[in-house]
């Protein structure tokens, strides 16, 4: 468990260092995700302990956003300035984005499934 958690931290650390040095447009942890993925791809399996550690981290992923969420209180005055425009923009744009992304995925899958016949 500890060894696998250390591996996860090493992936994140390597990701942070690489994005910092190369000024990459992705955050360190996302690059760390790619590195951990490559590790499993090389091993051609997910080691049992890694799966347990990762699933434990992900089982309460929502909790991890709570401190940042409380941080909104620190920006209350900034949000208050344009709150009507911003709240409509956030709600309508988020709904539109979800609809467009899901519909495009379903449509293209349907189109390509007709061609390749492997779905």
Which residues in 78-117 contact other proteins (CB under 8 A)?
78-79, 81-82, 84-106, 108-109, 112
Shortest distance (Å) from residue 52 CB to other proteins: 10
What would the two tokens of residue 24 be? 């990459």
Our finding on whether 29 is near other proteins (CB under 8 A) is: yes
Shortest distance (Å) from residue 101 CB to other proteins: 3
Cα 92 from chain centre: 22
Our finding on whether 74 is near other proteins (CB under 8 A) is: yes
Shortest distance (Å) from residue 60 CB to other proteins: 8
Rounded Cα distance between 90 and 52, Å, is 36
Rounded Cα distance between 23 and 96, Å, is 31
Rounded Cα distance between 28 and 30, Å, is 5
Rounded Cα distance between 35 and 16, Å, is 11
Q: How far is CA 61 from CA 12, 27, 56, 69, in A?
A: 17, 18, 9, 13
Within residues 33-62, the interface with other proteins by CB under 8 A covers 33-37, 40-41, 46, 50-51, 53-55, 57-58, 60-62
Q: How many residues bind other proteins (CB under 8 A)?
A: 76
> Residues 3, 15, 42, 49: which binds other proteins (CB under 8 A)?
15
Shortest distance (Å) from residue 21 CB to other proteins: 15
């Amino acid at each position: 468990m500890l060894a696998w958690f250390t591996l996860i931290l090493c992936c994140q650390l390597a990701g942070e260092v690489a994005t910092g040095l190369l000024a990459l447009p992705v955050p360190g942890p996302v690059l760390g995700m790619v590195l951990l993925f490559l590790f499993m791809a090389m091993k051609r399996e997910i080691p049992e302990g890694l799966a347990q550690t990762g699933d434990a981290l992900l089982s309460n992923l929502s909790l991890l956003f709570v401190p940042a969420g409380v941080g909104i209180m620190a920006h209350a005055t900034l949000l208050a300035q344009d709150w009507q425009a911003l709240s409509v923009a956030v709600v309508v744009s988020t709904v539109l984005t979800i609809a467009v992304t899901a519909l495009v995925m379903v449509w293209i899958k349907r189109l390509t499934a007709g061609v390749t016949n492997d779905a």
